[in-house]
Amino acid sequence: MEHELPHLDELRALAYDLWPSGAGLVIGGYVDDEVIKNIAEQTLAGREKAGEIPAIPIAKWYSHLEKEKHRLEGEWISLASEVRVYEEYYTSFVIRHDDLAAAQVDKALAVTNFEAP
């Protein structure tokens, strides 16, 4: 998948500027399940707040979340992610396929997941 990324050399240069040692960094790949879950939760909450969808009862939240995760999985690609150097958190940089194809990197998201040590 790494070879399919347009402007791979520029992305590598940016990544190595951010992480000079290059340690713990993966370029490209699939979006981690926790990252998709985070995006799906934010998307559902935003759609509820905007009135696009009716309020989801707590008892049905998980099933709606799973449907939203499934819908979003094919829309997002990983630009770069940290291998878990620290046990407490890791960050992934993701973007929608369409935004990447249009070179709209300003629409990329940095998603940080925190875990208890």
| Beta strands across the sheet bearing 89-96 | 25-27, 76-82, 89-96, 109-114
- Tens of pLDDT along 30-58? 888 989 999 999 999 999 999 999 999 99
Output the pLDDT for position 87: 60
Q: What is d(CA 29, CA 32) in angstroms, rounded to the nearest whole number?
A: 9
Question: Where in the chain are the domains?
Answer: 2-114
This prediction has a pTM of 0.71
